[in-house]
Amino acid sequence: MLLFFEQLLNGIQLGVFLFLIAAGLTLIFGIMGVINLAHGSLFMVGAYAAAAATEWTGSFALGIVIALIVSGLVGILMELVVMRRLYDRDHLDQVLATFGLILFANELMTILFGRTPLFLNVPAILNGAVEILPGVQYPLYRLAIIAMGILVALILYVIITKTRAGMLIRAGSTNRDMVAVLGVDIALMFTLLFGLGAVFAGFAGAMAGPLISVEVGMGEQQLILAFVVIVIGGIGSVRGALVGALLVGVVDTLGRAFLPDLLKLFMDPASADGIGAGLSSMSIYIVMAIVLVFKPSGLFPVAAAGR
């Protein structure tokens, strides 16, 4: 039971990462109608920037800040050079061009940092564990990530529902022309929004640094998981992204932790391990398929999402 609780928290923590990536992706799609495969590259850029900057400055906090700035700038650059030429193109063009971006970004990182993964240490202040329940020690760093995730979700909620910018974001996703008529510089708004999505993804990458190895291609893993999140949650819905991310994070983590043992109740240990490993690696996709059968446009469909 205690182990279960610990794994549940691990699942939530994975969900937080996925939410940070999926939130930007789903907003960008919902509002600009563009699918960006290179969003995962921003996650990677954040992780590398944090690792390099922490090494350079000796401070993890400074490393994170620099990572946020770098990934934001890279995102804005990406929007200015490539993405804005894709808004009026069909999805196929968007997929291919952003695939080209991934190839470029991955190769550039290989040239800059080599093929050996970088490792980031958990900062001293967040090192160690706390007793969250009697007898359950849980790493402080992972708790911090969960807290950060909640914070970002709250900030995003406030921005979207309470501010003028958020109003424009909501209006822009349903009616681009109307927003343009209101005298808003749409091009600038898109660039900044893209930058914001990039900062979220970069933040996730930077925070993930100490937990997973920082290497080329790390972003695409997360990207595809984020797609699953978005399909489950509904494209364009930040709320859907949150629910989907937590669901995927928890299902994936618990599946990997407990499915093989669960199967041992029904079959011999060897095949339980084999089938358990296979099933648990497929679990989130199976969840996605089930959602698809019953709610083809996700749990929180956004009516006006441009197709």
Count CB neighbours of 298 within 10 A: 25
Phi, psi torsion values for 136, nearest 5 degrees: -110, 110
Strand pairing class (136-139; 129-133): antiparallel
Asked if residue 26 lies in contact with residue 201, where contact means CB atoms within 8 angstroms, the answer is no
List the one residue from 80, 82, 171, 299 that touches other proteins (CB under 8 A): 82
Shortest distance, CB of residue 100 to other proteins, whole angstroms? Answer: 3
List the one residue from 28, 32, 50, 101 that touches other proteins (CB under 8 A): 101
Binding mask 204-223 for other proteins (x = CB under 8 A): ----------------x---
Number of residues that bind other proteins (CB under 8 A): 44
Q: Which residue has the tokens 């969003």?
A: 39
Distance of CA 71 to the CA centre of its chain: 14
For residue 237, what is the DSSP state?
-
List the one residue from 2, 61, 100, 147 that touches other proteins (CB under 8 A): 100
d(CA 15, CA 32): 25
CB-wise, 4 or 104, nearer to other proteins? 104
d(CA 129, CA 143): 9
d(CA 266, CA 258): 14
Which are the contacts of 142, defined by CB distance < 8 A and separation ≥ 6? 9, 10, 13, 211
d(CA 190, CA 106): 25
Binding mask 264-293 for other proteins (x = CB under 8 A): ----------x--xx--xx--xx-xx--xx
Shortest distance, CB of residue 105 to other proteins, whole angstroms? Answer: 8
List the one residue from 20, 49, 64, 97 that touches other proteins (CB under 8 A): 97
Shortest distance, CB of residue 276 to other proteins, whole angstroms? Answer: 9
Which are the contacts of 235, defined by CB distance < 8 A and separation ≥ 6? 26, 29, 30, 297, 298, 302, 305
CB-wise, 9 or 18, nearer to other proteins? 18
List the one residue from 107, 178, 182, 269 that touches other proteins (CB under 8 A): 107
CB-wise, 1 or 92, nearer to other proteins? 92
Binding mask 245-264 for other proteins (x = CB under 8 A): --------------------
CB-wise, 17 or 60, nearer to other proteins? 17
230 touches other proteins (CB under 8 A): yes
Residues 20-79, interacting with other proteins (CB under 8 A): 29, 35
d(CA 197, CA 152): 12
Residues 148-207, interacting with other proteins (CB under 8 A): none
Q: Which two tokens stand for residue 163?
A: 């501010």
Which are the contacts of 21, defined by CB distance < 8 A and separation ≥ 6? 39, 40, 43, 200, 201, 204, 222, 223, 225, 226
Shortest distance, CB of residue 230 to other proteins, whole angstroms? Answer: 7
Shortest distance, CB of residue 168 to other proteins, whole angstroms? Answer: 22
Count CB neighbours of 231 within 10 A: 21
The residues that touch other proteins, with contacts defined as CB under 8 A, are 29, 35, 82, 85, 89, 91-93, 95-97, 99-108, 110-111, 220, 224, 227-228, 230-231, 235, 274, 277-278, 281-282, 285-286, 288-289, 292-293, 296-297, 307
